[in-house]
Amino acid sequence: MTARRPRPAARILLTDPAGRVLLFRFTPDDRPAFWCTPGGAVDAGESYEQAAARELIEETGLALDPGRQIAQRSADFLTLEGVEVTADERYFRVRSDVADIDTSGHTALERRVMRAWRWFDRADIAGHAETIYPEDLLALLEATDDQ
């Protein structure tokens, strides 16, 4: 049995002026499609805050201050590259004054598997047929509404 690799990651709860949260739809070849918040792995030498700011720019084109961490989660999963990891995910709540995003900064892998994005209101999340990560997104949003 191979040990899981540690994967520090920054995740962003990005909301627009209407309070909707941005999610990307992932369509990997080896499993069903799912939706997830923006964010990704922390690069060597980066802090979680620096990774959150970088991922926000790369994935949305928005240069916004991620502020402080508002939550921390641990999750075991198989990455899109096929690596078993235990992720130390740190969450940041970011509010945007605009709903337009720019995905031109996506990597080749992201362009292949993240072909759709949309803003979800809370009713959309609660009733959505496909899996959304984090699984407790509604509770996390509600807990951080005042932050």
Give per-residue pLDDT as tens, 64-87: 999 999 999 999 999 988 899 999
Question: What's the burial of 32, exposed, middle or buried (CB within 10 Å: 0-12/13-18/19+)?
Answer: exposed
pLDDT at 147: 67
pLDDT averaged per 10 residues in sequence order, the chain, 147 residues? 89 96 95 96 97 97 96 93 95 95 92 93 95 95 83
Q: How many CB atoms lie within 10 A of CB 147?
A: 12
Domain that holds residue 77: 5-143
Contact 92, 42 (CB under 8 A): no
CATH number for the domain harbouring residue 125: 3.90.79.10
Count of domains for the chain: 1
pTM: 0.93
